[in-house]
A and B are shown apart, each in its own frame.
Chain A
Amino acid sequence: GRGGRDGMNGSEVWMGLGFGRDMSWTPRAVNVDLQTDATLQVDISDALSERDKVKFTVHTKSTLPNFKQNEFSVVRQHEEFIWLHDSFVENEDYAGYIIPPAPPRPDFDASREKLQKLGEGEGSMTKEEFTKMKQELEAEYLAIFKKTVAMHEVFLCRVAAHPVLKKDLNFHVFLEYNQDLSVRGKNKKEKLEDFFKNVVKSADGVLVAGVKDVDDFFEHEKTFLLEYHNRVKDASLKSDKMIRSHKNAADDINRISSSLYTLGTQDSTDVCKFFLKVSELLEKTRKIEARVAADEDLKLADLLKYYLRESQAAKDLLYRRGRALVDYENANKALDKARSKNKDVLQAETGQQLCCHKFEKISESAKQELVDFKTRRVAAFRKNLVELAELELKHAKGHLQLLQSCLGILKGDT
């Protein structure tokens, strides 16, 4: 990747890491399997991590006539992605679609904290240990960085692949307008408003969910999604814990390797060779274990996290439809009342028609969306589970080979 910017000092130098397209890792199809459409292709070609923000270079290739050029790039930050997502959510026309979930905020706090601790404890460890740990932390930072890029890219790709959303004007502005969108983050008042909106929404959601649906398909989807969402949440949490334990164990192996090395250099007997050889072995196997944990994180934990967000988005769709249904039923009642009183009948009729139209529109697209959701989900799980198994096998085989060759040498020695 490209090097960092200048103007960084000391421990911050390495945080200005660039990230180029030439890496063999492709973020695009990490969690979703999307058909690429020649008329509009979006990706994040580069990203830069500065002190407390990440700058993404969004690169677009399009044959659509509404763009001024066929290929262009802009620089965007996380807040602008959120703005785009929120604009979709607030748009009534899109009520019948699963809005692609917003990417999570880039969070380097934990990594930064660890680095700081390392810097503070520099005096208490040997130079080799310090360099080793620093390398590890840098690798961790890079991994988090790659992930956040992937999340943001997936969001854009989902939008670009959606038959309706890809035509959204805000989306085009996001892709093309090469100035800052001046989307400031929400201030306290707005955040408070959001909070209340959410409270109202969840209360309402409970009410709406209680209404039994005539349509079997949607009734089934409702029950299914509720349960599925909760279980994915649980699985996501547990997989995170498991992977963290794995990383901890790998760290321990690192320390053991260092101790063995010291023992080996100090020892004057025959066994020093053993110590040194095993120390070397553990150094290598630790790297493998760390890779296993990282791959599990990527293929399993991230998959679960993504579907946690998507299943929430699907639930939101069902809620909107449920809301529309309730509104429709209320409009029907209002119409009946108006007709019985013979007062404001026309008004009631138009109202009822509007609600009916809205409800039917949502129902129609919702059905398709939910079917697509299932297809995507199955494809993504398949892809990731297969890749997970293949990677586990690859690492285990490599690990085994290392162990066997080391054993061979040591046994031959005795």
Chain B
Amino acid sequence: VCVWGQAEPLNSNGQNSLLEEEEEEEEEGEDLFTGSLSVPLVLSLSRSLSLSLSLSLSLFPSVSLSLSLSLSLSLKATEEVSLDSPERDVLLSDGPSPVTPPASLISPHLPHNHLYTHCSFDEMEEEDTPDLFDISILVSDPEKTSMSLFKSPQATVRRRFSDFLGLHGKLATRYLHVGYLVPPAPEKSIVGMTKVKVGKDDSSSNEFVEKRRAALERYLMRTAKHPVLLKDPDLLTFLECSELPRALSTQALSGAGILRMVNKAADAVNKMTIKMTESDTWFEEKQQKFENLDIQLRKLHCSLDSLVCHRKELSVNTALFAKSAAMLGNSEDHTALSRALSQLAEVEEKVEQLHQDQAGADFYLLAELLADYIRLIGSVKGVFDQRVRLWQRLQDSLLLLQKKRDAEAKLHANKPEKLQQARDDIRELEGKVQQGERDFEQISKTIRKELFRFEKERVTDFKEVIIKYLESLVQTQQQLIKYWEAFLPEAKAIS
């Protein structure tokens, strides 16, 4: 997937829908640090079960003031939070079953493998990203076999950020609760978006756009790599249709948004009370493994963040030193030494650029990969939770069935009408129990398959990225050698 980003400022003669969106966004913007930050905070805090605190934060503007004081801090909050998968709250809404049951989408004669082993990927999608920005998708599909899924080999469409979120919402609702790992979408970032909206044309807002663009590209690639999700009609519409209906339910303060928040709170409380007797050690093992992996990835991500930060600092300080050395060279009255010092200043300037580029590689290659995987693991945990929930439901049904059976046994002699009613109820419940058992087995099977695929993908992803990263390090060193080799004779020329 190649995604290119293009930021266009709002023009006043936008269409009605644009204006509408702008207004709504504006509202969001005004409630900048109150309303919208509550969503992300809920996500992270719910994990630690301090729910009431998080909800109140959204309602008390005074508290949010402290958050607004350090933009970087709140950005961190949203960043940090994005590591949690929003998948889990979607599961709560107990979404409708997929339009077409997943089983039917898996047609064995379609060779899925072609779809994702191609390293440049069959679909080359180019997308541009955020709200209020024009985005374009370029889809090119050289594989003839999958032509049947796409109307044309290439398509370019414009999408907003909220469209991505909408797509993700639909996919998640449809597939997560039956155990498929739906890749999580990039998080909303109020702070970043505000900077961009305000029209600041500085490096930080450019960086933000680039970051988001790259994140959306990775998101779409990952989603499209999934054999089941690829055939989803909504995804296809997303990739091909020129006009998409606005996804309104993705906004933080919309009805759906608030419902999500409340459900998430309920879910977290619920989770504490469900204790599943795991009959399958495979699941227990895997859960533990993912727990550990999560912890380690987070730690690594933290160190990487620190490295990126320090490298950027190093770049800045090198630039400052370069200037200083140039000044020193200027005031030096010995000509050869003066020249050498100027050369040193030049070398350091080039080195500064190297550090900057390396920091970029650190970030875009490694740190973002880790962040993606941390969010994906959130997804994994989501499906595990869903399985537990299904199990709970099954147990509840079983319990109810037992009670009804007991009641029926007692009724046996006395009242025939009630007996019939009871028998009907029991039959219904038995059906439900059977369905529940089937669902549970199905989800367990699906999860196993998904995890297997996930691990495979993880291995390939990490290997690929690590190699790319090392190659970037190699390049840096090669450049360094070039620069210092050029400088050495200058230094030796000082007489």
B-binding residues in A (CB < 8 A)? 224, 227-228, 231-232, 234-235, 237-239, 241-242, 244-246, 248-249, 252-253, 255-256, 259-260, 262-263, 266-271, 274, 278, 281, 285, 374, 377-378, 381-382, 385-386, 388-390, 392-393, 396-397, 399-400, 403-404, 406-407, 410-411, 414
Given A241-B317, A382-B337, A392 and B484 contact (CB-CB distance below 8 Å):
yes
Q: Is the C-beta of B471 less than 8 angstroms from some C-beta in chain A?
A: yes
Question: Which residues on the A side are within 8 Å of B311 (C-beta)?
Answer: 249
Given A235-B328, A259-B299, A400 and B310 contact (CB-CB distance below 8 Å):
no
Q: Quick check: A396 and B491 within 8 Å, CB to CB?
A: no
Given A256-B304, A274-B462, A385-B340, A238 and B317 contact (CB-CB distance below 8 Å):
yes
Could you tell me which residues of chain B, from 86 to 143, have a CB within 8 Å of some CB in chain A?
A: none
Q: Quick check: A381 and B313 within 8 Å, CB to CB?
A: no
- Indicate which residue in A266, A285, A388 contacts B293 across the interface (CB closer than 8 Å): A266
Given A269-B455, A271-B462, A255 and B306 contact (CB-CB distance below 8 Å):
yes
9 smallest CB-CB distances across A and B, nearest first, come from: A245-B314, A252-B307, A385-B491, A382-B494, A238-B321, A259-B300, A400-B477, A242-B317, A255-B303
Q: How far is the CB of A261 from chain B (nearest CB, A)?
A: 10
Given A389-B488, A403-B473, A234 and B327 contact (CB-CB distance below 8 Å):
yes
Q: Quick check: B470 and A406 within 8 Å, CB to CB?
A: yes
Q: How far is the CB of A235 from chain B (nearest CB, A)?
A: 4
Q: Quick check: B488 and A245 within 8 Å, CB to CB?
A: no
Nearest residue (CB) in B for A397 is B481
Question: Which residues on the A side are within 8 Å of B303 (C-beta)?
Answer: 252, 255-256, 259
- Indicate which residue in A235, A246, A252, A390 contacts B306 across the interface (CB closer than 8 Å): A252
Q: Quick check: A403 and B480 within 8 Å, CB to CB?
A: no
Question: Which residues on the B side are within 8 Å of A390 (C-beta)?
Answer: 488
Q: Quick check: A234 and B459 within 8 Å, CB to CB?
A: no
Question: Which residues on the A side are within 8 Å of B474 (C-beta)?
Answer: 400, 403-404, 407
Q: Quick check: B492 and A231 within 8 Å, CB to CB?
A: no
Question: Which residues on the A side are within 8 Å of B333 (C-beta)?
Answer: 224, 374
Nearest residue (CB) in B for A272 is B459
The distance in angstroms between the C-alpha atoms of A377 and B494, with both chains bound, is 11
Q: Quick check: A411 and B467 within 8 Å, CB to CB?
A: yes
A-binding residues in B (CB < 8 A)? 289, 292-293, 296-297, 299-300, 303-304, 306-307, 310-311, 313-314, 317-318, 320-321, 323-325, 327-328, 330-334, 336-337, 340-341, 344, 455, 458-459, 462-463, 466-467, 470-471, 473-474, 477-478, 480-481, 484-485, 487-488, 491-492, 494
Q: Quick check: A256 and B300 within 8 Å, CB to CB?
A: yes
Q: Quick check: A378 and B334 within 8 Å, CB to CB?
A: yes
Question: Which residues on the A side are within 8 Å of B324 (C-beta)?
Answer: 231, 234-235, 237-239
Q: How far is the CB of B409 from chain A (nearest CB, A)?
A: 51
Question: Which residues on the B side are within 8 Å of A248 (C-beta)?
Answer: 310, 313-314
Given A266-B292, A400-B478, A235 and B321 contact (CB-CB distance below 8 Å):
yes
Q: Quick check: A389 and B487 within 8 Å, CB to CB?
A: yes
Q: Quick check: B467 and A410 within 8 Å, CB to CB?
A: yes
List 30 A-B residue pairs with CB atoms under 8 Å apart, sorted by A's residue number.
Answer: A224-B331, A224-B333, A231-B327, A234-B328, A235-B321, A235-B328, A241-B317, A242-B317, A249-B314, A253-B307, A255-B303, A256-B304, A260-B300, A262-B299, A266-B293, A269-B455, A269-B459, A377-B334, A378-B334, A381-B337, A382-B491, A385-B340, A385-B494, A386-B488, A390-B488, A400-B477, A400-B481, A406-B470, A410-B467, A414-B463
Given A249-B314, A381-B340, A396-B484, A231 and B328 contact (CB-CB distance below 8 Å):
yes
Nearest residue (CB) in A for B481 is A396
Nearest residue (CB) in B for A404 is B474
Q: How far is the CB of A402 from chain B (nearest CB, A)?
A: 9
The distance in angstroms between the C-alpha atoms of A242 and B299, with both chains bound, is 26
Q: How far is the CB of A249 from chain B (nearest CB, A)?
A: 4
Q: Quick check: A407 and B471 within 8 Å, CB to CB?
A: yes
Q: How far is the CB of A376 from chain B (nearest CB, A)?
A: 12
Given A249-B311, A270-B459, A407 and B328 contact (CB-CB distance below 8 Å):
no
Which among B324, B325, B481 has the greatest number of chain A C-beta atoms within 10 A? B324
